[in-house]
Amino acid sequence: MGMQKRLRTWVTIVLLGAAPQLQAAAVPSHLSSLASGLYRSLDSEFKQAASDKERGWAILQAQQVLRQYGVHRWAQSEITLPELADSIAALLKIDLSKPNEAEALNHFLLQISEGDTEEALDKLYISLERAPLSDDEQRQLSEQFNKLHSDSFSTMEKSHRLGDSETEPTVDLMWEPFDGDFQVLVKEPGSEYVEPYQARFRADTMPHYDTDKNLFSVDAQPAAQPVIPTLAEDLEYIDREIYGDWQTGEGHRWKIVSPDAAGEKDLPELDDTLSSRAARITALDEEIATLQASKVYQWRNLETDEIVKQEKFRRLKEPWFYEGQVYREENTETEIARLEEERRLLAEQEVPLVQQHDPVGFDNVQQEGATNIDIHVIEAGGCSYSYDQAVITGSSIRARRTLVQQCDIINLPQTVIDQLLASWSPPEWIELEAEIDLAGGELRVEGKKWRMHVTYGSMDYKVGNIHTPYSRTLSLFRPPRKAP
Residue pLDDT, tens place only, 288-322: 988 888 888 899 999 999 999 998 888 899 999 98
In a domain, 333, yes or no: yes
Residue after which a domain boundary falls, among 200, 231, 262: 231
Residues 6+ apart with CB under 8 A from 50: 56, 60
Residue after which a domain boundary falls, among 347, 373, 400: 347
418 lies in the same domain as 453 = yes
436 lies in the same domain as 376 = yes
Number of domains present in the structure of the chain: 3
Consecutive H or E run containing 429:
strand 427-436
In a domain, 6, yes or no: yes
139 lies in the same domain as 2 = yes
Q: Which three-class secondary structure state does DSSP give residue 174?
A: strand
Residue after which a domain boundary falls, among 326, 347, 368: 347
5 lies in the same domain as 101 = yes
163 lies in the same domain as 306 = no
In a domain, 68, yes or no: yes
Task: List alpha helices for 331-471, DSSP H.
Answer: 332-347, 353-356, 362-367, 414-419
Are 175 and 219 within 8 A, CB to CB? no
In a domain, 444, yes or no: yes
> Stretch 204-224: mean pLDDT, rounded?
85
Are 371 and 392 within 8 A, CB to CB? yes
45 lies in the same domain as 156 = yes
In a domain, 468, yes or no: yes
198 lies in the same domain as 129 = yes
Structural domain boundaries, residue 326? 282-347
pLDDT of 45: 95
251 lies in the same domain as 293 = no
**Calpha distance 166→93 (Å, rounded):** 52
Positive/negative CA dihedral, 418, 422, 426, 428: positive
Identity at 353, one-letter amino acid code: L
472 lies in the same domain as 326 = no
pLDDT of 397: 93
In a domain, 455, yes or no: yes
25 lies in the same domain as 107 = yes
Angle (CA) 417-419-420 rounded to 5° is 65
CA dihedral 404, 410, 412, 415 (to 10 degrees): 40
pLDDT band at 279 (very low <50, low <70, confident <90, very high): confident
Among 210-219, 247-256, 383-392, whose mean pLDDT is lowest?
210-219
Which letter, b or e, does each residue of 42-53 get, where b requires 16 or more Cβ atoms within 10 Å of its Cβ?
beebeeebeeee
217 lies in the same domain as 363 = no
